[in-house]
Amino acid sequence: MSVLQAPEDEQGGGDRGDPSRDLRSILVTSVLNLEPLDEDLFRGRHYWVPTTQRLFGGQIVGQALVAAAKSVSEDVHVHSLHCYFVRAGDPKVPVLYQVERTRTGRSFSVRSVRAVQHGKPIFIFQASFQKVQPSPVQHQFSMPTVPPPEKLLDHQSLIDQYLRDPNLQEKYRVGLNRIAAQEVPIEIKLVNPPMMGQFWKMEPKQMFWVRARGYIGEGDIKMHCCVAAYISDYAFLGTALLPHQWKYKVHFVASLDHSMWFHAPFRADHWMLYECESPWAGGSRGLVHGRLWRQDGVLAVSCAQEGVIRVKPRLSGSKL
């Protein structure tokens, strides 16, 4: 599953215009706005549910990070998180987030979170927070050279372009219309989108510009990290399927674990380049690495995820 098959200031404000005129991002006002029930206990509700009818993993990661961040002081910020998805989430009921203050140190603090439904954990999570500590030891890879988001088609326009192809098979036309109808709270611009007849020769790599819909503002660095956690899971695991989608039909895909490392401040409501690649797949699992780049070339976030992938052979001659 690629982006087109998802069920996911100077830093790249792009063509958004005057942010004061934009609606507040629903990721802040609704999706990541947890209800406090008691000390270190929160309830989260759902906004977007994929066609799989299982909870979107990015929502659970983002909400868990919100809960953890509420238990630390303002002078520390998340630098990493690691989590496991242990049961499928039920979109019909809210999720309870139980925070454990594992350790509060002078430089680093650790928080553990359990997401619970029907009395059982569906997700376990740990995040580490750090006080700002400048260091002369610094380096990073170079950002890939790609067209800026202003020169690329948005998600809807790209789908419309595919739909205008008179040779497009009806089953794919239905699928694209279903994707176009989804109200996902993030914006996507795919870099180097393939033509419909080229899906059979894709590599396990993809890049797309992404940002939250609506305005978040300078605000709290922690909230931008929570929004990035939500964004990071969108179409991420699907990268591992790109070379195989012409030969196999997806039977079941689900995240097993997810990790993130936060390197530099960023605005999640500004365009960032999401560079995804899958170095390995096998044993009914796939591994994906990702990097979120600010538009000025600064590496903001690194991600990794492994998931279960089960497929069925396509009928002979039924290429995409």
What does the pLDDT look like over 53-78, one tens digit per residue?
788 999 999 999 999 999 999 999 99
Give per-residue pLDDT as tens, 127-177: 999 999 999 999 999 999 999 999 998 877 877 776 777 766 665 665 655
Average pLDDT, integer, range 100-121: 97
pLDDT of residue 318: 54
**Does any domain span residue 103?**
yes
137 in a structural domain: no
CATH number at residue 221: 2.40.160.210
Domain assignment present for 200: yes
Residue 96 domain boundaries = 23-131+147-313
| Range in 51-55, 205-209, 298-302 the model is least confident about | 51-55
Residue 179: what residue type?
I
Averaged pLDDT for residues 118-127: 98
Is residue 12 one of the residues assigned to a domain?
no
- Give domain status of residue 8, yes or no: no
pLDDT of 154:
86
**Which residues are marked as active site?**
233, 255, 305
- Is 142 inside a domain boundary? no
Mean pLDDT of the chain: 87
| Residue 120 neighbours by CB under 8 Å, 6+ apart | 87
Q: Is residue 5 one of the residues assigned to a domain?
A: no
Q: What is the pLDDT of residues 237-294, one digit of tens each?
A: 999 999 998 788 888 999 999 999 999 999 999 999 999 999 999 999 999 999 999 9
Report the domain count for the chain: 1
In a domain, 267, yes or no: yes
